[in-house]
């Protein structure tokens, strides 16, 4: 009796469990087609920044969990989905960052489109005189996929040195920024590449030159003003002496007439 009475209960529990599993949306693991990395050596706040797009394969079912590689020291600013031209409409997603061998991995779920994006702060660049240099140690902590990397520099940058070497001519936008595209790479999970950038920003050097020029102009102006005051004072003294001589002469003439 005991065995017979338990059998219907076990069946009922299995049916209930199955219904519960079917009612919960299944989150698939994303299949990565390519990573798109844009590295900015000097971004907002004086630190380097990066924008990472993860393009999923067309057959990836949504919702899906995206794994975004990040270097050690990176801090996530924003993560979500790219659904149109207006960034204000892109939905943000809650992100979990985990340390793994060689770097970090950020995970979040996307449900609307197969393009995920993550923005992150990185380290401050090194400055020596007017030169700026920084290295991004990129480790593929996600799935094996093609990496399309680029470096974006501010207006006025010169003496640019980038490794790996960029391919083709750089592109410029309306703001005067320059984008250098690197050769595509296919990195297996755990493989790494160092992106090294150094250049002269130009803007700071120009500012220094302008400041020096203004200082020199100010000093020259002061010198001219001092010289002008000296000349005016000298002329006044000469006029005063001449007036005194003339007064004395007139006084002598008056004395002669009087006496």
CATH of the domain at 185: 2.60.40.1730
Q: Is residue 67 part of a domain?
A: yes
Q: Which two tokens stand for residue 232?
A: 């005016």
Report the C-alpha dihedral over residues 73, 76, 81, 85, rounded to 10 degrees: -100
Q: What's the pLDDT at 81?
A: 98
Domain check: are 77 and 197 in the same one? yes
Within a domain: residue 167? yes
Q: How confident is the model at residue 249 (pLDDT cuts 50, 70, 90)?
A: very low
* Number of domains comprising the chain: 2
Average pLDDT over the chain, rounded to an integer: 79
User: Is there a single domain that holds both residue 98 and residue 116?
Assistant: yes
> How confident is the model over 44-71, as a mean pLDDT?
96
Please state whether beta strands 115-121 and 75-81 pair in parallel, antiparallel, or not at all (unpaired): antiparallel
pLDDT value for 257: 33
Domain extent, residue 34, equals: 28-201
Question: 117 and 230: one domain?
Answer: no
Whether residue 162 is found in the same domain as residue 41: yes
User: 135, 194 in Cβ contact below 8 A?
Assistant: yes
pLDDT tens digits along 101-130: 999 999 999 999 999 999 999 999 999 998
Domain assignment present for residue 125? The answer is yes
Same domain assignment for residues 161 and 212: no
Q: Are residues 65 and 181 in the same domain?
A: yes
Going by C-alpha positions, the residue among 53, 49, 106 that lies closest to residue 82 is 53
Task: Indicate whether 67 pLDDT > 50.
Answer: yes
- pLDDT tens string 130-168: 899 999 999 999 999 999 999 999 999 999 999 999 999
Query: pTM, whole model, 2 decimals?
Result: 0.69
Tokens of 101: 């061998």
pLDDT of 65 higher than 80: yes
Percentage of the chain with pLDDT > 90? 64
- Say if 189 falls within a structural domain: yes
Asked whether the beta carbons of 122 and 71 are under 8 A apart, the reply is yes
């Amino acid at each position: 009796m005991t065995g017979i009475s338990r059998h219907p209960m076990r069946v009922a529990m299995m049916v209930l469990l199955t219904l519960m599993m079917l009612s919960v949306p299944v989150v698939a693991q994303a299949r990565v087609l390519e990573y798109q990395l844009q590295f900015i050596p000097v971004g907002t706040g004086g630190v380097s920044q990066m924008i990472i797009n993860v393009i999923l394969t067309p057959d990836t079912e949504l919702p899906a969990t995206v794994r975004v590689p990040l270097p050690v020291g990176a801090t996530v600013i924003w993560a979500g989905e790219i659904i149109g031209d207006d960034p204000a409409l892109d939905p943000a997603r809650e992100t979990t960052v985990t340390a793994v061998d060689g770097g970090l991995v950020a995970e979040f779920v996307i449900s609307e489109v197969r393009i995920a994006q993550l923005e992150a702060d990185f380290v401050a660049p090194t400055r020596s005189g007017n030169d700026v240099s920084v290295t991004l140690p990129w480790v593929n902590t996600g799935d094996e996929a093609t990496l399309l990397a680029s470096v974006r520099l501010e207006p006025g940058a010169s003496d640019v040195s980038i490794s790996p070497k960029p391919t083709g001519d750089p592109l410029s936008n309306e703001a005067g920024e320059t984008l250098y595209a690197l050769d595509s790479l296919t990195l297996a999970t755990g493989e790494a590449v160092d992106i090294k950038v150094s250049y002269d920003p130009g803007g700071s050097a120009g500012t220094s030159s302008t400041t020096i020029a203004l200082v020199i102009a100010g000093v020259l102006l002061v010198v001219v003003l001092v010289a002008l005051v000296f000349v005016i004072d000298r002329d006044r003294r000469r006029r005063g002496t001449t007036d005194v001589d003339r007064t004395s002469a007139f006084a002598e003439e008056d004395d002669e007439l009087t006496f």
